Chain A
Amino acid sequence: AQKITQTQPGMFVQEKEAVTLDCTYDTSDPSYGLFWYKQPSSGEMIFLIYQGSYDQQNATEGRYSLNFQKARKSANLVISASQLGDSAMYFCAMREGLDTGRRALTFGSGTRLQVQP
């Protein structure tokens, strides 16, 4: 089974509107973290936001927020007030076994977001 599932290969959003990118995950480990990265066409991976499995509140970082629903195993990224520069691939990733110190990430297949003027 896929550990990280991103069901939206592509999304369009109008500039200044909000958009939600879906991510569901599968793990039996009680200690895990979820990350979102942005990859522009230039190729670099840019860290956006993190949510830990034990965190009580949904994470927020500027225009990015994470809608974390632990029981449903979903960690959707919400981008508010979209900008043209937000056009990129977005990846959801999971790190299991947070207490092991290991850093390996499992990535989803990504969602390509296009912001239209």
Chain B
Amino acid sequence: GAVVSQHPSRVICKSGTSVKIECRSLDFQATTMFWYRQFPKQSLMLMATSNEGSKATYEQGVEKDKFLINHASLTLSTLTVTSAHPEDSSFYICSATGGGETQYFGPGTRLLVL
């Protein structure tokens, strides 16, 4: 089946630093990638949708200057959390589609901002 990877799986950083998370589709071309955030015991919240070669579409309430998304190729999207603060600590998950409706999810990245 289709495989999506994320790197890193876990990151701890100091407040004020920026963190980059990569999402890769390993065996298919991902026309669309989604970025989600999940707080403990809560469901996934869509942050943004990105299509290769175009600007990401952010959900209401998500700061585009704080969560920078780049989808430069059909197999890679990156999420950069800029000037991270403790409240940004969360589980970040990406998913990708190859044009159909099935979304293939990455394993997630656990971010802890001290």
User: Do A and B bind?
Assistant: no
